[in-house]
Structure 1
Amino acid sequence: MPFLPRLFSWIALCFCLLLGGCATNNVSLQEVRAFADQSAKLGGYAELSTRFRDTYAREQLYLPPAAEKIGRETDAKRRAVYDDFVSAQKAVVLYMQTLSLLAGDARYDLGDKLDDLGNGIKANLDSPLDQRHVTAYTGLTRLLTRAIASGYQNRSVETMVRDGDRDLQILLDGMLTLTRFYAKTHENEKKTILGIFDIEIPFANQPKDRMLVTLAKVHYLNKSSEYKILDKRYELAVQGLTKVSLGHQKIRENLGALHGVEVRNILSSYVRDLDMIRSGLSGN
C-alpha cells in the first residue's frame, strides 16, 4: 500500500479510537453525573429551612401572652440566620451541578448561579454553623468561581472532586447539624401546640363546651397527623444528606477507578436511594 493512503488510514483509525475512548468515558461517568444530579436536589432541606424560619408564625396563635415576648425575640434570631442556612445549601447544590456538567457531554453556563450564592455565611452564637463551616463555604465558593468563570478549562471530575471534597464534606456536616437543629425546633413546637390541647380539653367538660371540644379534638388530630409526617421528613432529610456525603467520599476514594464496575454499581445504588428518599420527602 502506498505511504500516503496508509498514513491517512492510520490517522483515521486513531481518530476513531479517540472518539470511541471519549464516548466510553462519558458513558462510564454517567453514574457520577446521575449521583450529582440527584444530590443537587437535596430533597427537603430547603422546605425544612423555611419551616424552621416560620416557626413563630405557626406558634403565635397558641402562645399565652406571657410567652409572646420570648417568641418574638426567638423569631428575630431565626430570621437573622436563615439566609446563612440557605446559602450553605446553595453552595452545595451549585457544586453538584458543576460536577454533573463535568461528568457529562453538555456544556452550559452556570455563571448566573454564582450571583445567587449571596455574601457568604457567618459564625453566630444563635447558629449551629461555626468557623469551620464559614471557612469551608468560602473555599467551596472560590473553587466554583474559578471553575465556572474559566469556562471549566483545566477542570475534570477528578480535579473538581479532589479540590472540593474537604470543603464539601464540612458543609454537608453543617447541613446535617442544621437539619437536626430544625428537628429539635419542630419537636418543641409539637410539644407546645399539642400540649395546650392535652391540658385544656380535659377541663372543658361542661355540656355547653361539647361542640368546642369536638372541634378542638378534630384540630388536635389534624395537627398530630401533620407532625407525624414531618417527623419522617426530618429523618429522610438526614438520610439524604448522609447518602450525598458517603457517595462523594466514595468518588474521592476511587478517582482512579471511576470507570470500574464496582464503583459504578455503588454509585447507582446511592442514586436509587436518593431517588427513593426524594419521593418520600415529596409524598404524604
Structure 2
Amino acid sequence: MDFRRLSARLPFLLALLSLAAALLGGCATSPNAGPISFAEVRQFADASARLGGYGELSRRYRDTYEREQPYLSPAADRIARENDARRRAVYDDFVSIQKSVVLYMQTLSVLAGDGRYDLSDRIDDLGNGLKANTESGLQQRHIAAYTGLTRLLTRVIASGYQNCSVATMVRDGDADVQVLLEAMSALTRLYAKTNENEKKTVLGIFDVEIPFSTRNQDRMLVTLAKVHYLSKSTEYKLVDKRYDLALQGLAKVALGHQKMRENLNNLSGDEVRKLLLGYGRDLRNLRDALSD
C-alpha cells in the first residue's frame, strides 16, 4: 500500500465523510462536546414534560356526557349520546399528541443530562398515528408534525442517543413541536367551549326551575337544589381556571423552545440560561397551581 498517496488523499476522504454525515442529517451531525452545562435546558425540559393539566382536561372532555346526562331531556339525550361517541372516537388521538410532546421533552432532558435512560418502551405508547378530524380541528399539518416528531424520537431513542446533541435535537424537533403545541392549545380551547356548553345545560335547569318551585311542600327540595347548584357552580369556576392555566403553560413551553431554537449556537450562554431558568420556574409554578 502506498501510504504517501493515502496521506495525500486523506483530507479529501475526510471531507467526503463529513459531507456524507451532513447528507444523512438527523442526530449524527452535532454531538455534544466539552464540559458545557445544559442544566437549565434539562430543568426546562423536565418542567415542560411534567406540566400536566392537558391530560386531565382531555379526560374531562371525553366524559362530558357522564356528567350532563342526568340533566338532559330525552330529546337532548339522543343528541348528547351522538356527541359522546364522537368525543370518545378522537380522545386517543388528542392524548397521543400530548404523549409525543412529553416524550420529546423527556428525551431532550436525557440529552441535556449526564445520565442515559431507556425510554424505548415509551415509543409504543404513541400509537399508530393521528386521523384528521374537521370537528376537532386536527388538520393534515398536525398529522405531519406528529409523524415527523415520532420518527425523530424513534431514531434518537433507538440509537441509544449516540452522537445526538441538544442543539441538533432542538433544531430537528422545533417545527413539529411548535405545531403540536399549537394543536394542544386549540384542543384546550375546544375543551373549554365544551365545558361552557355543559355548564349552561346543567346550571340552566336550576335557573329555570327553582324560581317556579314556590310551594311549601317543595321547600326542602328547593333547598337541596340550591346547595347542589352552588356546588356545581364552584366546580365550573375551578375548571375554568384550569383551562386558563393549561393554556398559559402551553404558551410558555412553546416560547421556551422557540428561544432555544433561536440560540442553537449559544445554549450555554448566560442570557439563554437565565431565560430558560425563568421559564422552568414559571412552569413549575403553573404545575403547582394546577395541582391545587
Using the size of structure 2 for normalisation, the TM-score is: 0.88
**Alpha-carbon distance in structure 1 between the residues aligned to 2:286 and 2:128:** 31
Which of 34, 38, 45 is 1:36 aligned to? 45
**Alpha-carbon distance in structure 2 between the residues aligned to 1:135 and 1:71:** 32
**Alpha-carbon distance in structure 2 between the residues aligned to 1:109 and 1:43:** 22
2:61 aligned residue: 52
Return the letter of the residue paired with 1:271.
G
1:107 aligned residue: 116
Secondary structure in structure 2 of the residue aligned to 1:153? coil
Is the aligned partner of 1:274 residue 2:266?
no
Native 8 Å contact 2:145 2:177 kept in 1: yes
Matches within 5 A, 1:168-179: 168-179=177-188
Which of 202, 210, 213 is 2:211 aligned to? 202
Is the aligned partner of 1:163 residue 2:172?
yes
Native 8 Å contact 2:53 2:242 kept in 1: yes
**Alpha-carbon distance in structure 2 between the residues aligned to 1:100 and 1:108:** 10
Native 8 Å contact 1:122 1:134 kept in 2: yes
- Deviation of the 1:125 alpha carbon: 2.5
Native 8 Å contact 1:35 1:271 kept in 2: yes
RMSD of aligned Cα (Å): 0.9
Using the size of structure 1 for normalisation, the TM-score is: 0.90
Is the aligned partner of 1:144 residue 2:186?
no
2:138 aligned residue: 129
2:13 aligned residue: none
Query: Structure 1, unaligned stretches of length 5 or more?
Result: 1-20
Secondary structure in structure 2 of the residue aligned to 1:155? coil
2:221 aligned residue: 212
Native 8 Å contact 2:136 2:190 kept in 1: no
2:253 aligned residue: 244
Deviations 1:73-117 (A, max 9, x none): 000000000000000000000000000000000101100000111
Deviations 1:252-278 (A, max 9, x none): 101111111111111111011101110
**Alpha-carbon distance in structure 1 between the residues aligned to 2:203 and 2:77:** 18
2:73 aligned residue: 64
- Deviation of the 1:120 alpha carbon: 1.0
2:102 aligned residue: 93
Native 8 Å contact 1:53 1:79 kept in 2: yes
Native 8 Å contact 1:40 1:92 kept in 2: yes
Is the aligned partner of 1:261 residue 2:259?
no
**Alpha-carbon distance in structure 1 between the residues aligned to 2:147 and 2:51:** 20
- Deviation of the 1:126 alpha carbon: 2.5
- Deviation of the 1:42 alpha carbon: 2.9
Mean alpha-carbon deviation: is it higher for 119-128 or for 73-82?
Answer: 119-128
- Deviation of the 1:43 alpha carbon: 1.8
Is the aligned partner of 1:223 residue 2:232?
yes
Native 8 Å contact 2:42 2:110 kept in 1: yes
Secondary structure in structure 1 of the residue aligned to 2:164? coil
Return the letter of the residue paired with 2:278.
S
Secondary structure in structure 2 of the residue aligned to 1:122? coil
Secondary structure in structure 2 of the residue aligned to 1:152? coil
Native 8 Å contact 2:45 2:109 kept in 1: yes
Native 8 Å contact 1:39 1:274 kept in 2: yes
Query: Structure 2, unaligned stretches of length 5 or more?
Result: 1-32
Secondary structure in structure 1 of the residue aligned to 2:136? coil
Native 8 Å contact 1:43 1:277 kept in 2: no
Native 8 Å contact 2:51 2:284 kept in 1: no
Secondary structure in structure 2 of the residue aligned to 1:276? helix
Native 8 Å contact 1:81 1:126 kept in 2: no
